Structure 1
């Protein structure tokens, strides 16, 4: 039996993992889906604390899985609770360097738009519409209009502190297996960035990193939950 700790990305609650968690539990695995804080004062660092609380202080090491904005949070959490993490999985995402916020990893025009949305909403950033995601280049492939509408209706306002602040990174442990589940991009698109030492990609060049392709949009827990669960069950054994 494997214990999975599943961390959602921006705008999503623990419910985002319902279908994946049900599949894993039906096969005898233990699953904790993390509910990250969405109060106005929450930050990227407080989200790391949420993940550490879910991992707990004792027990068998877990497979820690982060989707999208949850990926950098999981990277920091794994460094602080290394003895409690057996594998780190990034679902259509990756780690970010020390102190780099999600907004810092986007083009200037997107940063300007995001800051304007946060200022207009005051407490954080609401989830973009499907048309807005398409304009931003964030793939919604695999989601029917009804599924996207349901996700959008249930979405949460992402706290400003989670968007505008980064996490404190430690030293990545090269003995900790790390896997990227590539959904809206391919490993071939990432490798030149790794080779160039681009921030957010450079550390993926270590021997502990592997890639699995799961072609779909950015939200495989909604578009391909059974296939994503299968990838996680297999403990991810792909080609580099």
Structure 2
């Protein structure tokens, strides 16, 4: 069965970051739509909150069959809301997850210095070796060249699903192992409070941007169904 993958990037990055993965999905016979969220990438400068990004995803999926929503990092938040509002075949979270209602991206780390826009990270492996693991010089240069500031309102607005649909979900764990995630869930970590028991967790040991560090393996895992 041919599937349509709607690929949603995390902060600072446009749909271009999925180019390698999208090409591999198409080579395998599937469709791939890489979304550039409002206010980021070639759409930089436009105002956008989290709900605007949910609408971006719903629009990208409109009229498509067998849709698989894929959310990386911050992209998991708008993907979670979109998946609750429109019928999709399944959802895949890449180093992200189905966070509880009320969660904000701001809750994931120290607050930005400005409320205008969140500037890109410096992309320096020496400062962040775990998250940037696996990225070669070419990938790092691309990230430095093409990253743009991310709309502040989108990281400050709390998640609100606004729907009741609950499609099957997979979590591709890169910077945490499946075993670490299982331990955090067992300990009652709030970030996993909305994760159903039947969520499939697959490991892809690499840094936080596997679409650049491991595009082949990531594409294979996106296409994998079931347990």
Structure 2: any 5+ residue segments left out of the alignment? 40-44
Greater shift in the superposed pair: 126-135 or 147-156: 126-135
Counterpart of 1:98 in structure 2 is: 101
Instruction: Kindly tell me the number of residue pairs found equivalent between the two proteins.
Output: 221
After TM superposition, give the deviation of residue 172 of structure 1 in Å.
Answer: 5.6
- Residue 197 of structure 1 aligns to a residue whose secondary structure is coil
1:88 aligned onto 2:78: no
Which of 150, 160, 169 lines up with 1:178 in the alignment? 169
Alignment of 1:135-146 (within 5 A): 135=128, 139-146=131-138
Which of 182, 202, 206 lines up with 2:193 in the alignment? 202
Q: Are residues 133 and 92 of structure 1, via their aligned partners in 2, closer, same or farther at CA, if it must alter by over 3 Å?
A: farther
- Residue 200 of structure 1 aligns to a residue whose secondary structure is helix
- Residue 131 of structure 2 aligns to a residue whose secondary structure is coil
Q: Is the CA contact (8 Å cut-off) linking 2:85 and 2:163 kept in structure 1?
A: no
Q: Are residues 90 and 199 of structure 1, via their aligned partners in 2, closer, same or farther at CA, if it must alter by over 3 Å?
A: same
CA distance in 2, matches of 1:103, 1:153: 25
Counterpart of 1:215 in structure 2 is: 205
Which of 139, 148, 155 lines up with 2:147 in the alignment? 155
Counterpart of 2:42 in structure 1 is: none
TM-score (normalised: structure 1): 0.85
After TM superposition, give the deviation of residue 219 of structure 1 in Å.
Answer: 0.2
Q: What's the Cα RMSD here? A: 1.9
CA distance in 2, matches of 1:132, 1:222: 14
